[in-house]
Structure 1
Amino acid sequence: MTAALIGKSVSRVDGRLKVTGAATYAAEFEVPNLAHAAVVRSIVANGRLASIDTAEAERAPGVIALVTHRNAPKLAYQPHKGLPDAAVGERLHVLQDDRVTHQGQPIALVVAETLEQAVYAAEVVRVTYRNEAAATDVAAVDPVLPTGKPAEWEIRRGEADSAFEQAEFRVDQTYVIPRENHNPIEMFATIASWEGDSLTLWDKTQWVHNVAEEIAAVFGIAAENVRVISPFVGGAFGSGLRCWPHVTLAALGARVDGRPVKLVLSRREMYYGVGYRPHTVQRVALGASRDGQLQAIRHEGHQETSTYEEFTEALLSATRFLHACPNVHTRHRIAPMHVHTPTYMRAPGEASGIYALESAMDELAVALSMDPVDLRLRNEPDRDEFKDLPFSSRSTKECYRAAAERFGWSQRTAEPRSMRDGRLLIGWGMASATYPMNYAPASALARLLPDGTAEVMSAASDMGPGTWTSMTQVAADTLGLPVERVKFTLGDTRLPRAPVHGGSMTMASVGSAVQAACRKAREDALARAGSNDLEEAMERLGQVIEATADVAPGDETKRFSMHAFGAVFVEVAVDPDLGETRVRRIVGAYGAGRVVNPKIARSQCIGGMIGGIGMALMEHSVVDPRNGRVTNANLAEYAVPVHADAPPVMDVIFVDEHDPHVNPLGVKGLGEIALVGVAPAIANAIFHATGKRVRELPITPDKLL
């Protein structure tokens, strides 16, 4: 039997496929007789289509079909809401009527022999509109409580208002985060092919079964008749959680054309065709005693959403339990606008909410003349004060101390502008991080072969965090086989069902199912063969042994509050003449349960740190308030971090944490928490360097000059 593999740094099993170009992404599948599609999109934010002149486009070379609301088949659009869908409202019904609800809405589809022919024909479709007043400026929209019970959106513990007024030290500020777009390397693409009433979709997605069920509902067919294939995903960060309108358009084009159709969104289209992190405005008011004990927290925030769906995320959740405080008041609202619906983006809700909370905590530390780490340690809770439950495990103190020691925090001088490197201003800042442990029902199949190898499968996704590798590792560890003798397969609705690949739940859920299936198969084989060695047992049996397993959470959430926790420390250098900020060092410490593969886990954390740099210093979708158009919908003007922006030191510490309550593997997930806390730590470091507090991201040079 091989040595234990869980906890070992194993290189990516799919690495060679990716670096050699052998990995096949959604747009790369070879399907015979393929046609290509392009979308005509609205250039107004609200109104109706007055006319669509398609004559020139229909005469263009290579055009096979041109579909508008006037000739499109009426689609069933039966009820369906997957986990990532907005709970309130109805998804966009594409090409079903003349109503326009947002800039970039699909209003026509061209299918042609080549991509170039389809794009050209789409460009010569002439459209006129009957414009109506549009709400496209979030600052001009009055936020409202989301639909549902008011108690769900406004939560009180104690008497925060009076406690704040009586507090000796107070901070009351507003923090703004602009809209951010995901910008993965791989653009969204779908190939659709019908055979009678059966449909195959090669699609970029983080949840193959959700795509199958959504498209089945749209076309009024059985979900079993829709097969979705998505083995490799070139980044998504949450943008691939939902099934977006382009998937319906590809299937619709293939239905009308009678041939397989490929639809690939351009980079610009991705700013309108899929969701984004919504613009948020948050007010945080903190009250504390002279010794730093929090007496009151008031945190309210609102975010943009579309007029046809209410998108909400966990913007204020962490505020209710991250720091101990007897009096807490949170209020969450939305601003309905003529935009397309936002969606989840890495660490949704927590990344935004904790930016505001941890910035305010730093401001309170300054007001108290107290070390920011000491302030947090003084307000470390013994239990979840919101749920009134014990934490299944919480290593926040250990994270603060481990990261502070590695960073050299004790050498920090507290006064702003007191640390320099030549003419550069040096700043040190820190922030807390947390993200919930999510665990969902999942299934897996393990098949042991007579030659001593194993095939393991589940319909999970891998958008880059290493699902292929970590699942192979769990399977090999459980079976007692070398990694190279285990083949894991994912990304196909014909495989056992897996939950959405998001929310840091894949290892907890799919990993637990893989472990259970492999354990069943191994025990069965050994029992049948009367052997203690699996390879020997399979050779003796000479037949395939197969086992399936279904896992699901129990009542743990009723008994424990389960979260990963962390601490992020940052050093920045700010040019006082140019206002340019460079991140020099980041140290992150995380208590995230069992770490299956430290090498891949470290990569996850480094990716989150880089994403946090983008959030803090660069990323900003500039929306024209006149019409909702994103003016920088490209990678030339929407700045994202590149190699030159990466700090030379990105140090990751995993605090040893054993948590038997969270799931069978004892994992909590790292994909989301790796981003949480980075932006406020950078903002706090910039204040320490410059003495200037910038409360609206990104912190660009103009805001520091």
Structure 2
Amino acid sequence: MKSNYIGKPTSRVDGPLKVTGQAKYAAEFAADGLVYGVVVSGEIAKGSIKNIDVKEALSLKGVLKIFTHENVSGLPWFDKNYKDQDSPAGSPFRPFQDNKIMFSMQPIALVVAETFELARYAASLVKVEYKEDKHETVLMDHLDKAKKAPKGKVGFEEPKSRGNAGDAFKAAEFKVEGEYLHSAEHHNPLEMHATTVVWEDGDKLTVYDKTQGVFNCQQYITKVFGLSTDDVRVLSPFVGGAFGSGLRPQYQVFMAVLASLELKRAVRVSLTRQQMFSFGHRPSSVQRLALSASADGTLQSVKHEAFGETSRFEDYTEIIVNWSGTMYKCENVELKYDLVKLDVFSPLDMRAPGAVTGNHPFESAIDELAYALKMDPLAFRLRNYAEEDQMGGRPYSSKELKACYTQGAAKFGWDKRSIEPRSMRDGNQLIGWGMGTAAWDAQQMLANAKAVLSADGKLFVSSGASDIGTGTYTIMTQIAAETLGLAIEDVTFKLGDTNMPEAPLQGGSWTAASVGSAVKAGCEAVKAQVLKLAKKSKKTPVSGESADDLIIDDGYVLLKKDPSSKISISELMKQAEVGSIEEKAMSGPNPINKLKYTFNTHAAVFAEVKVDEELGTAIVSRVVCAVAAGKIINPKTAGSQIKGAVVWGISKALEEESMMDKNLGRFINHDLYEYHIPVNKDINDIDVIFVEEHDDKVNPLGVKGVGEIGIIAVAGAIANAVFHATGHRVRNLPITMDKVLGLSE
């Protein structure tokens, strides 16, 4: 069939718009009479504002208004603890509610002026006097105040222990234990957070926002300001990366809408790179692992305890330790997860939240235990392979992890690995090979889509989903084209608009499964209508034929038994005097299958590092990532997702660290000069393997999503490779040269 697009590498349909600069982002939409807002950030981590002096700033010609806690009141949000769709338990931060300071760089004023330059200068003239209280911002210093993590946000599952890990650990012949530290990290997408609000008569707003969910943003605005959804339209057609930072509406949305409603004008508020460090991050953690095994390599016990940080006002939770109870077969598992409240903003979901944090310590401990047994790390993992979900006791809908091991190891050349540390070298470069295993939930959320087929044979499909760079535009176009049998050039997919059918947040690797299933259902409904027209048509090659005897391909309705007998869809519609066919569809998870099966993606990562023996510098020279994620809609965009995730995993392992100054209570490397991320020279060969995996239970498309799975095991594999190269196990990320040389931990 010509219209066979699913599974084929396809270039991004939105690519030309992006490379020619025609794709517009939140801070690029023009509006008549547009004015600019600049946020003033607080300078202390905890305390209150004694006095805020805005007189000098307000005296400047062209400064329109300065919003502070002194002149903002009466909003519905201040009386109700409204939660957005990604909120953890607690009371969300509300700008300008009062004079309290709860975290460093808290927004304390918004200066609005005729030009951006004037607003920025005026913001520098705002004078603030504080009453400073003692703050606590470093997790390691306050572990004694840890408390059991509450239920937290929707989707968090309390870790469940089984058997008796303590006794099994004591009795075991081989055992390892250690403490692992994980520093805070920040999202830092290329596009910084910004909102442009266009005000219309009657307090109707058109809001262009950097967000991973236009409906979440719309709901936030209507609840905070007491508006109707009919009065607020949110658009986000393009997003320059987000990685989780756009799941919750950030404070620039609040401020832009506040100013627009007050001034009755279009307002734009953009955050600086430094301010991007002020509204959420991957939380730091302290983790303690204790594993044991019998002499034949059977895993006897797993103990995984984690301490995470959260804010004073919300209980942010992640599934950090749960994965350790399901990755391998083990009868005795003890899992514990506690939170420490600090004077910081609430942490925020960041690519593979929880899983990537817990995987490095766990996979490092697995590697260490394999060495204690003098077993090959891959052989040890295979020895303890879990055929069923160890936590839920359910079979997997599909699990091709063994194929990931086999194909990944073969591509990497794992069989040529010398097991002894420091036994492989190239001149003064110590060579290390390490590996890790990853799993992630394969979820499907409720989603809606609309498909409209016009009389000229063109298909327009829409859903209010997001595309944060993952390729959503492209794969939805592929799904629609193949389902309805059209050329891909005849299909247009639109997203990112609350005037479209509702879709979930783009996160959790569920967009392909969720929105894709809705798109498929909508196009199937249109297809059914086309086939009805074919049957009812008169004096055509397909007249009177049942739907079972017809197919649609390349814009034609064909007889299965005689493909030369055909008629174009446009001719059929014109004959029937049908101007268009429109269908809406909704798709969601199968509740019965959710009870019967566990849905996961799986991956095996193999990494090679080269460590300078004298300097301790580590370079990741190559990575092989083998992934089992059901049907791959587009190997090209999916491969890019995995490669990008591997790059971030390298960054996490060797470079990224948000450094907290405990005296200031502030992240001090809050720019891309001192917050280190990889450049081209840091990245070498990355091979991606998509293992064939058929799954007819997970969703109608059989897809699982690949956004998160590629990053999860990379840091652990690199840490294990560093040990293999040097004989020194680094437990504190990132792995810097001083730690490799044993000069610090």
Report TM bin, short chain.
over 0.9
Q: What is the aligned partner in structure 2 of residue 146 from structure 1?
A: 149
1:407 to 412, 416, 428: 412
Partner amino acid for 1:198? K
How far the C-alpha of 1:192 sits from its partner, in A, is 1.4
* Mapping 1:124-203, distance limit 5 Å: 124-141=125-142, 142-148=145-151, 153-195=158-200, 196-203=202-209
Q: What is the aligned partner in structure 2 of residue 117 from structure 1?
A: 118
1:227 to 220, 225, 233: 233
CA contact (8 A) 2:82 2:92 kept: no
Matched residue SS, 1:432: strand
2:84 to 82, 85, 102: 82
Q: What is the aligned partner in structure 2 of residue 538 from structure 1?
A: 570
Q: What is the aligned partner in structure 2 of residue 702 from structure 1?
A: 738
How far the C-alpha of 1:79 sits from its partner, in A, is 4.3
How far the C-alpha of 1:148 sits from its partner, in A, is 4.7
Once residues 321 and 32 of structure 2 are traced to their aligned partners in structure 1, the CA distance between those partners, rounded to angstroms, is 50
Q: What is the aligned partner in structure 2 of residue 678 from structure 1?
A: 714
Q: What is the aligned partner in structure 2 of residue 43 from structure 1?
A: 43
Query: Is 1:629 the equivalent of 2:629?
Result: no
How far the C-alpha of 1:12 sits from its partner, in A, is 0.5
Higher deviation after alignment, 530-539 or 636-645: 530-539
Partner amino acid for 1:191? T
Matched residue SS, 1:329: strand
Matched residue SS, 1:492: coil
Higher deviation after alignment, 257-266 or 527-536: 527-536
Partner amino acid for 2:87? D
CA contact (8 A) 1:65 1:256 kept: no
How far the C-alpha of 1:704 sits from its partner, in A, is 1.6
Matched residue SS, 1:433: strand
CA contact (8 A) 1:111 1:257 kept: no
Task: Decide whether aligned partners of structure 1 residues 172 and 392 sit closer, same or farther in structure 2, where only a CA change above 3 A counts.
Answer: same
How far the C-alpha of 1:283 sits from its partner, in A, is 0.8
Once residues 138 and 358 of structure 2 are traced to their aligned partners in structure 1, the CA distance between those partners, rounded to angstroms, is 21
Partner amino acid for 1:515? K
How far the C-alpha of 1:204 sits from its partner, in A, is 0.4
Q: What is the aligned partner in structure 2 of residue 660 from structure 1?
A: 696
How far the C-alpha of 1:193 sits from its partner, in A, is 2.5
**% of aligned pairs identical?**
47
Matched residue SS, 1:269: helix
2:494 to 469, 489, 496: 489
Q: What is the aligned partner in structure 2 of residue 240 from structure 1?
A: 246
CA-to-partner distance for each residue in 1:272-311, whole Å, 9 max, x for gaps? 0x32111011111101101111111011101111100111
1:527 to 532, 537, 551: 532
Matched residue SS, 1:157: coil
Matched residue SS, 1:133: coil
* Mapping 1:452-531, distance limit 5 Å: 452-530=457-535, 531=542
How far the C-alpha of 1:154 sits from its partner, in A, is 5.0
Query: Is 1:642 the equivalent of 2:679?
Result: yes
CA contact (8 A) 2:396 2:598 kept: yes
CA-to-partner distance for each residue in 1:636-674, whole Å, 9 max, x for gaps? 000001111111x21111111001110000011111001
Matched residue SS, 1:270: helix
CA-to-partner distance for each residue in 1:307-342, whole Å, 9 max, x for gaps? 001111111121121111001111111111110011
Q: What is the aligned partner in structure 2 of residue 417 from structure 1?
A: 422
Once residues 53 and 547 of structure 1 are traced to their aligned partners in structure 2, the CA distance between those partners, rounded to angstroms, is 57
* Mapping 1:243-254, distance limit 5 Å: 243-254=249-260
Once residues 60 and 617 of structure 2 are traced to their aligned partners in structure 1, the CA distance between those partners, rounded to angstroms, is 50
Once residues 324 and 621 of structure 1 are traced to their aligned partners in structure 2, the CA distance between those partners, rounded to angstroms, is 35
Query: Is 1:687 the equivalent of 2:738?
Result: no
CA contact (8 A) 1:305 1:337 kept: yes
Once residues 258 and 295 of structure 1 are traced to their aligned partners in structure 2, the CA distance between those partners, rounded to angstroms, is 67
Matched residue SS, 2:445: coil
Matched residue SS, 1:446: strand
How far the C-alpha of 1:702 sits from its partner, in A, is 1.5
Once residues 74 and 201 of structure 1 are traced to their aligned partners in structure 2, the CA distance between those partners, rounded to angstroms, is 22
How far the C-alpha of 1:82 sits from its partner, in A, is 3.3
* TM-score, with length taken from structure 1: 0.98
Once residues 337 and 115 of structure 2 are traced to their aligned partners in structure 1, the CA distance between those partners, rounded to angstroms, is 48
Matched residue SS, 2:527: helix
**RMSD over equivalenced CA pairs, Å:** 1.3
How far the C-alpha of 1:224 sits from its partner, in A, is 3.4
Once residues 349 and 260 of structure 1 are traced to their aligned partners in structure 2, the CA distance between those partners, rounded to angstroms, is 39
Partner amino acid for 2:647? I
CA contact (8 A) 1:568 1:587 kept: yes
Q: What is the aligned partner in structure 1 of residue 563 from structure 2?
A: none
* Mapping 1:558-597, distance limit 5 Å: 558-597=595-634
CA-to-partner distance for each residue in 1:590-615, whole Å, 9 max, x for gaps? 11100000111111110011000100
How far the C-alpha of 1:143 sits from its partner, in A, is 1.6
Once residues 502 and 290 of structure 1 are traced to their aligned partners in structure 2, the CA distance between those partners, rounded to angstroms, is 42
Q: What is the aligned partner in structure 1 of residue 545 from structure 2?
A: none
Matched residue SS, 2:435: strand
Partner amino acid for 1:63? V
CA contact (8 A) 2:290 2:302 kept: yes
* Mapping 1:298-377, distance limit 5 Å: 298-377=303-382
How far the C-alpha of 1:153 sits from its partner, in A, is 3.6
Matched residue SS, 2:358: helix
Query: Is 1:439 the equivalent of 2:475?
Result: no
Once residues 399 and 125 of structure 1 are traced to their aligned partners in structure 2, the CA distance between those partners, rounded to angstroms, is 58
Once residues 305 and 253 of structure 1 are traced to their aligned partners in structure 2, the CA distance between those partners, rounded to angstroms, is 30
Once residues 152 and 5 of structure 1 are traced to their aligned partners in structure 2, the CA distance between those partners, rounded to angstroms, is 38
Matched residue SS, 1:33: coil
Larger radius of gyration: 2
CA contact (8 A) 1:153 1:333 kept: no
Q: What is the aligned partner in structure 2 of residue 56 from structure 1?
A: 56
CA-to-partner distance for each residue in 1:169-209, whole Å, 9 max, x for gaps? 11111111100001111011101123323222100000000
Once residues 628 and 345 of structure 2 are traced to their aligned partners in structure 1, the CA distance between those partners, rounded to angstroms, is 37
CA contact (8 A) 1:316 1:332 kept: yes
CA contact (8 A) 2:160 2:391 kept: no
Q: What is the aligned partner in structure 2 of residue 264 from structure 1?
A: 270
Task: Decide whether aligned partners of structure 1 residues 152 and 461 sit closer, same or farther in structure 2, where only a CA change above 3 A counts.
Answer: closer
Matched residue SS, 1:282: strand
CA contact (8 A) 1:526 1:537 kept: no
CA-to-partner distance for each residue in 1:40-75, whole Å, 9 max, x for gaps? 111111111100011111112421101111111421
Matched residue SS, 1:156: coil
Q: How many positions carry a matched residue from both structures?
A: 701
CA contact (8 A) 2:3 2:488 kept: no
How far the C-alpha of 1:552 sits from its partner, in A, is 0.9
CA-to-partner distance for each residue in 1:522-548, whole Å, 9 max, x for gaps? 111221233544541332223100111
Matched residue SS, 2:438: strand
Partner amino acid for 1:308? F
